[in-house]
Amino acid sequence: MKSTKNKIPVLTGRNFQDKYFYPANSRTAPRRFEIYRREDEEYRCLPVVTANRLDFYMVVLVTGGEGIKTFGTKEYYIRKGMLCFIPPGMVTNWESIVDDHQGYIMTFDEHMLPNLNTYPFFQVGGCPVISLNEEQQHYFHHYFQEIEKEYQSNELELISAFLTIILKKTQQLYTATEPIAGSNAAIRLTAAFTALIDKDFEQKLSTYAGLLNVTQNHLNDTVKAVTGKTPGTHIHERIIKEAAQLLVHTQLTIAEICYRLNFSDQSYFIRFFKRYTGLTPRQFRLHTPGKIFQLF
């Protein structure tokens, strides 16, 4: 008898849900087509998903969160504004870098649409990750939302039509050039840096470089190449996220939040916050209580 100890599991239906998501008691049985919100409590993705293969197709739109996804033998730094495509049989795994993730996961079988395997992003050797600009993100987000609406009524014909639009539009955007510059080592360094600032965002860039045993210039060049943003921008965005959480979830005054975040000048903090969000801290607090907010 052959040993199955070292075989990569093939996931189907419920096995997929158990492998990818935190345990939940109120899930319904998977259907031919499924769409999940990544921020839904019932379908929050586990921080680590070990190597597996799917027996169906998967499309993911990332609107928030960061992590490392391996497709075959290549690692990709996954972040907001990316579309990911996984065909049946491809070996993948996942490693989350931050706690909060937003977006959509769609799963469907080969009978959903004809000739799925002819799309380049579903082929072996194709590029499974597409980077979107802001206009493209809005375009695709709209169609994922439309699919989510039709999913509630199980309108498979309309879902198929919207899914076709998504795949055809992606094919127009597709190039064989990978959207993420850098080697696996660069992606790992960027992930380690992101994890550090997610836990402690109050250090100088030189401190993070020292903790990662690289020069400050190397860290700056690597992070910018992989993510398109400088380390300084990542730190600023992390500060904004912390400020936003304090504004929404506490009764601290603006001055107290400013002090907690080590701003010596409250007026500068207000300008800094507005530069990234378009709102003053007071306006943000008034507009977002009880709402889900998403930054960057």
**Residues whose CB falls within 8 Å of the CB of residue 226, separated by 6 or more in sequence, listed in order:** 77, 180, 181, 182, 186, 187, 190
Q: Which residues of 227-265 are buried (b: 16+ CB within 10 A; e: fewer)?
A: beeebeebbbbbbbbebbebbbeeeeebeebbeebebee
Residues 50-58: what's their mean pLDDT?
Answer: 93
Q: Is the predicted pLDDT of residue 24 greater than 90, yes or no? A: no
- pLDDT tens digits along 189-229: 888 898 888 888 888 899 999 999 999 999 999 888 888 88
- pLDDT tens digits along 84-115: 999 998 989 999 988 889 999 999 999 999 99
Place of tokens 């409590």: 41
pTM strictly above 0.75 = no
Give the pLDDT of residue 1.
37
- pLDDT tens digits along 258-280: 998 989 889 999 999 999 888 99
Confidence of residue 179 (pLDDT cuts 50, 70, 90): low
The one-letter amino acid code at 71 reads: F
Burial grade of 106 (CB within 10 A; 0-12, 13-18, 19 or more): buried
Higher-pLDDT residue of 126, 274: 274
